[in-house]
Homo-oligomer: A and B are copies of this chain.
Amino acid sequence: MAIRISTRQPDFEARFAALLATKREVSEEVDAAVAEIIADVRARGDAALIDLSARFDRVDLAHLGIAVTQAEIDAAEAAVDGPTRAALEFARDRIEAYHRRQKPADERYVDSLGVELGHRWTAIEAVGLYVPGGTASYPSSVLMNAVPAKVAGVPRVVMVVPAPNGEINPLVLVAARLAGVDEIYRVGGAQAIAALAYGTETIRPVAKIVGPGNAYVACAKRRVFGTVGIDMVAGPSEVLVVADGDNDPAWVAADLLAQAEHDAAAQSILITDDVVFATSVEREVARQLETLPRADVAGASWRDYGATIVVRNLGEAPALINRIAPEHLELAVDQPDELLVLVRNAGAVFLGRYTPEAIGDYVGGSNHVLPTARSARFSSGLTVLEFVKRTSILRCDVDSLRALGGAAMALARAEGLEAHGRSVGIRLNL
């Protein structure tokens, strides 16, 4: 059973701080194993991928091939029913439309001293997308990562996905094709990250790696960071629902369970100003769990990490929201914008009573890759910006260099960097 705390309790601050401090991830000690795997892939390339995939995924890549063929993707398409394919296309189109608006603009201008300034954005030349295997192999995640990369203009998007016992979720292959993924390889784990970072005979290296993965994948991404770029390392998912007593408890309970069913380490929190409603929601959670296919997972998450926070009034909510810094925030009230303006820290906000978080997971159009574990205090969800980089531009002529030169030389010399000063002075006969 989830905990219940209330701002009326004299020890509320201690209880709330304990809730914030809850660790939901067991950090596995995989560093040594990952270092060995990466070294093996760097030394032996494809041969290492074949051996490691046989060991970890029980798949014979020497026979099947490392690359997934177009014929295999065709076969996957044939295996997907029409409505599901249409839903994937609908999601792809909406994600693309939303992310197109994020493309940053170049700029060039001349300032009052005659200095030309500006910047250019360019797409990263090659991006690797890690897709987990097994039950966490979500086609929606393929769309959420690959579509923004393609919108950014990345010419080469490379997907890696493990094929345990030779199998890949056909929906993942179809989503990859719909998103415009250029190459697909059936490797997973730290070995796939190593292959993307350093290249093998079959897999050319990329410049950045994105996408979720298990402890081995996360550790490998940290290790290759610097050689390539990486995205954030995502933790278990979480939702914070702020709801007044005018909501249907069953709707709110459904939203809490939608988050909880992801992972036993997921977290669902309810903030409400209505203690009777809080009890109704808790009862509804128990009731809906009875018929939920993933009741074991969702039940464990709710029992171990679920929480209800009863506040005196919803004016107390923003301060709590900002300290929790939730990945997903639902504001299930009549005037959600009044609360929204006070929200600083949240990955995504879902406004009103008719916007369950699951809409954002699939077809809202916004991205479902969002900051977890309170990192919305300092980071953002996935956008097109993740796939571009910026070059700043500066241009002086002799007159504008003269206008800037004295100050530059003064600062260079104040910092003891004489050659810096000389590189300016020599052009101005100073």
Complex interface: chain B residues within 8 A of A191 (CB): none
B111 touches A365 (CB 8 A): yes
Complex interface: chain B residues within 8 A of A207 (CB): 377-378
The residue that A363 contacts in the complex, of B355, B365, B395, B408, with Cβ under 8 A, is B408
How far is B414's CA from A363's CA once the two chains are assembled, in angstroms? 14
A394 touches B348 (CB 8 A): yes
SS of A interface (majority): mixed
Q: Is A292 an interface residue (CB 8 A)?
A: yes
B422 touches A364 (CB 8 A): no
B354 touches A366 (CB 8 A): no
How far is B197's CA from A45's CA once the two chains are assembled, in angstroms? 39
A219-236 CB mask vs B (1 if < 8 Å, else 0) is: 000000010110001000
Complex interface: chain B residues within 8 A of A262 (CB): 417
Complex interface: chain B residues within 8 A of A389 (CB): 345, 371, 376-380
Copies of this chain present: 2
Give the most central of A107, A122, A340: most B CB within 10 Å: A122
Q: Is A294 an interface residue (CB 8 A)?
A: yes
Interface residues of A, CB < 8 Å — how many?
119
| A419-B292 in contact given A86-B407, A122-B344 (Cβ < 8 Å) | yes
Give the Cβ gap from A154 to chain B, nearest Cβ, in Å.
11
A355 touches B396 (CB 8 A): yes
How far is B377's CA from A124's CA once the two chains are assembled, in angstroms? 6
Q: Is A212 an interface residue (CB 8 A)?
A: no
Give the Cβ gap from A346 to chain B, nearest Cβ, in Å.
5
How far is B79's CA from A414's CA once the two chains are assembled, in angstroms? 13
Complex interface: chain B residues within 8 A of A357 (CB): 423
Give me 20 other A-B pairs in contact (C-beta within 8 A), A354-B398, A362-B420 excluded.
Answer: A86-B407, A87-B410, A122-B345, A125-B377, A248-B426, A292-B418, A292-B419, A293-B418, A347-B392, A355-B394, A355-B401, A356-B427, A360-B394, A361-B420, A364-B394, A364-B396, A370-B392, A376-B389, A376-B391, A378-B389
Of the A-B pairs whose beta carbons lie under 8 Å apart in the complex, a sample of 19, sorted by A's number, is: A97-B111, A125-B322, A207-B378, A226-B373, A229-B379, A261-B419, A294-B417, A343-B391, A349-B391, A351-B393, A354-B398, A358-B417, A359-B424, A361-B408, A362-B420, A364-B394, A364-B396, A371-B389, A378-B389
